[in-house]
């Protein structure tokens, strides 16, 4: 951490700042420039020290050199985190595909889609039982019933399941039925929810807030990790920009950046990231080429009649299957192993007994 003073600061002010630093049990190293003085801080300071220093008179800026997150950082954990759930590995060289509808609508719907996700080579069934909607009059999901329908479909077809949890009080019931809990983009900084997810051990897929910086994203993951749950996946799902043609702007640089800053698996969501069916395929491929550890893709058997209106970004089952075939070849080119249908069939054999 470095403190940069305002020009022409008095010696007395400098000494006040130094004294403040030393009271925090770290060392101050003063460097007087032509018009400004720079004070380096040596040692492990409390996170609040920077905040206090920034407020002191005569201080122009405080530059943090170390990151504010620790457990999420690759500095702390150099090897890739690989999360294993019932034989399916997520992270490192393993690539997964999560597929399914925006919302669970009925037992028939989710069962049929699960069958198709499995047949196409997917490993995880996605589906929302609780839906975050911009307005209160839109369809809000079928609730706990949906969790049950999805758990049954997953079990029957040998798929893991992932579903969104929106509030701390529903964490336990979601964890009972689903294999992976998803935190949506609007809840990335719902700190009470993150803290609650830190108390369980079920894997969590944390979606990036649509205007969150990489630093904020990793700090949000840190909340879960700091609570004791090491099973966190990061998900890039598009950021908000000035462009309105696409629903969001999928930031694929996030994939290599997050993998460099952190050891956690990074999943890409080209469906929400673009909001347009015809862009899902090229952006899914681009995600894999950029090094994603997995994809979460919306697929629907009847997208024209999906209950949430997200059908416009859902692939048809045959498109989904075709895409997965292409992804398998692409994954091989970038050193990823995509556990296709055949392999996962074996992996699931034990689990289904």
**Residues 90-119 within binding reach of a second copy (CB under 8 A):** none
Q: How far is CA 274 from the centre of its chain?
A: 17
Closer to a second copy at the Cβ: 75 or 176? 75
Q: Tell me the closest approach of the beta carbon of residue 241 to a second copy, in angstroms.
A: 6
> Which residues 210-249 are close enough to bind a second copy by CB under 8 A?
210-211, 213-216, 219, 222-223, 226-227, 239-246, 249
List of residues 6+ apart from 129 with CB closer than 8 A = 103, 104, 141, 142, 143, 144, 145, 146, 147, 150, 163, 164, 174
Q: Tell me the closest approach of the beta carbon of residue 244 to a second copy, in angstroms.
A: 6
DSSP calls for 59-90: EEEEE--S-S-STTBTTT--SPP-EEETTEEE
Q: Tell me the closest approach of the beta carbon of residue 66 to a second copy, in angstroms.
A: 8
Q: Tell me the closest approach of the beta carbon of residue 59 to a second copy, in angstroms.
A: 9
Residue 278 in contact with a second copy, rule: CB under 8 A = yes
Residue 7: both structure tokens together: 């020009």
Contact code string over 145-184 relative to a second copy, x by CB under 8 A: ---------------------xxxx---------------
Residue 315 in contact with a second copy, rule: CB under 8 A = no
Catalogue the E-assigned strands of 238-302. 266-268, 294-298
Using the rule CB under 8 A, give the single segment among 118-126, 155-163, 174-182, 329-337 that binds a second copy.
329-337
Using the rule CB under 8 A, give the single segment among 118-126, 132-140, 146-154, 336-344 that binds a second copy.
132-140
Closer to a second copy at the Cβ: 23 or 342? 23
Determine phi and psi for 276, rounding to 5 degrees.
-140, 125
Q: Tell me the closest approach of the beta carbon of residue 204 to a second copy, in angstroms.
A: 15
Rounded-to-integer distance, Cα 165 and Cα 316, Å: 26
Residue 318 in contact with a second copy, rule: CB under 8 A = no
Residue 325 in contact with a second copy, rule: CB under 8 A = no
Rounded-to-integer distance, Cα 208 and Cα 218, Å: 9
**Residues binding a second copy: what is the number (CB under 8 A)?**
107
Q: Tell me the closest approach of the beta carbon of residue 215 to a second copy, in angstroms.
A: 7
H-run or E-run covering 231? none
Using the rule CB under 8 A, give the single segment among 103-111, 175-183, 306-314, 337-345 that binds a second copy.
306-314
In 3-state terms, the chain is what percent helix, strand and coil (to 5)? 40, 20, 40
Rounded-to-integer distance, Cα 107 and Cα 145, Å: 9
Rounded-to-integer distance, Cα 67 and Cα 229, Å: 20
Start-to-end CA span in the chain (Å) = 55
Contact residue for a second copy among 148, 290, 341, 347 (CB under 8 A): 290
| Closest C-alpha among 341, 338, 339, 321 to residue 330 | 338
> Which residues 4-63 are close enough to bind a second copy by CB under 8 A?
4, 7, 29, 31-36, 38, 40-44, 47-48, 50-52, 54-57, 60, 63
Contact residue for a second copy among 14, 90, 206, 252 (CB under 8 A): 252
DSSP, res 262: B
Closer to a second copy at the Cβ: 241 or 352? 241
Rounded-to-integer distance, Cα 125 and Cα 100, Å: 6
Closer to a second copy at the Cβ: 88 or 331? 331
Closer to a second copy at the Cβ: 26 or 341? 26
Contact residue for a second copy among 193, 235, 296, 324 (CB under 8 A): 193
């Amino acid at each position: 951490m470095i403190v940069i003073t305002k020009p022409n600061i008095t010696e007395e002010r400098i000494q006040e700042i130094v004294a403040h630093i030393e009271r925090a049990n770290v060392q101050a190293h003063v460097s007087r420039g032509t018009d400004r003085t720079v004070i380096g801080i040596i040692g492990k300071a409390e996170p609040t020290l920077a905040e206090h220093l920034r407020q002191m008179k005569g201080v122009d800026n405080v530059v943090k050199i170390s990151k504010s997150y620790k457990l999420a950082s690759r500095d702390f954990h150099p090897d890739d985190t690989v999360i294993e759930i019932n034989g399916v590995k997520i992270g490192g060289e393993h690539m997964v595909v999560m597929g399914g509808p925006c919302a669970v609508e009925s037992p028939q719907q989710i069962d049929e889609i699960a069958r198709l996700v499995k047949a196409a080579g997917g490993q995880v069934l996605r589906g929302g039982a609780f839906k975050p909607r911009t307005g209160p009059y839109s369809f809000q999901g079928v609730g706990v019933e949906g969790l049950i329908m999805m758990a049954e479909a997953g079990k029957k077809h040998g798929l893991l399941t992932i579903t969104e949890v929106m509030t701390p009080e529903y964490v336990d019931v979601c964890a009972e039925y689903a294999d992976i809990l998803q935190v949506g983009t609007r809840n990335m900084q719902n700190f009470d929810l993150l803290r609650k997810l830190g108390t369980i051990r079920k894997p969590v897929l944390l979606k990036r807030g649509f205007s969150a910086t990489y630093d904020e994203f990793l700090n949000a993951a840190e909340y879960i990790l700091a609570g004791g749950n090491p099973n966190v996946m990061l998900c890039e799902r598009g950021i908000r920009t000035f462009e309105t043609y696409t629903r969001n702007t999928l930031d694929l640089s996030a994939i290599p950046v997050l993998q460099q800053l952190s050891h956690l698996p990074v999943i890409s969501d080209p469906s929400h990231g673009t909001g347009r069916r015809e862009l899902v395929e090229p952006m899914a491929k681009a995600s894999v080429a950029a090094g994603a550890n997995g994809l979460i893709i919306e697929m629907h058997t009847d997208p024209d009649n999906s209950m949430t209106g997200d059908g416009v970004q859902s692939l048809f089952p045959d498109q989904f299957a075709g895409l997965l075939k292409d992804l398998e070849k692409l994954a091989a080119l970038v050193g990823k192993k995509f556990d296709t249908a055949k392999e996962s069939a074996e992996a699931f054999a034990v689990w289904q007994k």
